[in-house]
A = this chain, B = another copy of it.
Amino acid sequence: MATIERNTTLAAQIRQSLEMQIDSKLLQPGVKLPSERELSELFDTTRTTVKEALLAMEAEGRVYCEDRRGWFVAPPRLIYNPLYRSPFHQIVTEQKRQLETLVLSSRTIVATPTLCQELALPTLSRVNEVTRLRKLDGRVVLLARHYLKPERFPGILEHDLSQSLTTLYEQQYGVRYGRSRFEINPTAAWGEVAQALMLTEGSPILLISCVNYDQHGEIIDCDHEYWRHDAVRILVDSQELERMKANTLL
């Protein structure tokens, strides 16, 4: 009766073996695994097969890979509610994690057609773009690009953009978040995004696009958030919106 159908493939055995090590805490989150070459010797096989096992574990979010640096045990996912527009720093610290923000660039650009549509702008409008890289407990997990209307936030690019934009909006411009809208797309990382997230070109990522409105229902800005897919779990509760609204009205 208790015929445990052994997963026959070699890659599956490697996977099980590594998972046991992780589950038993012998391999702690963030710790580097032995190199693909070492693992292939250890399991008496080739790099190809080891890689296959690692890719499947990566898809599940058990391990992650940093380009040419190695494979690591994945920490627990950050729980994230894109509707809940509180300062990101707060979300992170509430979960007892540590956040680090790097401003990669901030400039004024001509909006792409997609952007014009998202921000309800006429074609060839200029927008401010702020690109920031976020690290969770020292690990790069998110590349966020914010796009804002220049006339709405004059001179914002002169401020320190490594702090919370939410706070900056409110304190410097008296703008507060109201409702918002978001979209989630599982997609692949290319070019700058892949580089910044230390991913190989074509790796699967999660793209979260938010459009945010102020207390008067006017569009404030939008974000394109490129997440390492193993680093996040999206959670949305329709009841939480009640609380949010209460806060906004205060």
Contacts and interface: CB of A to CB of B under 8 A. Distances in A.
Interface of A: 9, 12, 15, 55-57, 59-61, 77, 82-83, 179-188, 201-204, 206, 229-230, 233-239, 241, 244
A236 to B, nearest CB: 6
A120 to B, nearest CB: 14
Contacts of A77: 185
Contacts of A15: 202
A184 B59 contact: no
B56 A181 contact: no
If over half of A's interface residues share one DSSP class (helix, strand or loop), that class is named, otherwise mixed; here it is mixed
Contacts of A235: 181-184
B12 A204 contact: no
A236 B236 contact: yes
Quick one: copies of this chain in the complex?
Answer: 2
B56 A186 contact: no
B56 A182 contact: no
A55 B202 contact: yes
B186 A186 contact: yes
A183 B237 CA distance: 9
Given A236-B236, A238-B83, A241-B241, A60 B183 contact: no
Given A55-B202, A201-B56, A204-B204, A187 B238 contact: no
A187 B186 CA distance: 11
A179 to B, nearest CB: 4
Contacts of A82: 236
A222 B6 CA distance: 31
Residue among A203, A204, A238 with max Cβ neighbours from chain B (10 Å) = A238
Given A55-B202, A201-B56, A202-B56, A61 B238 contact: no
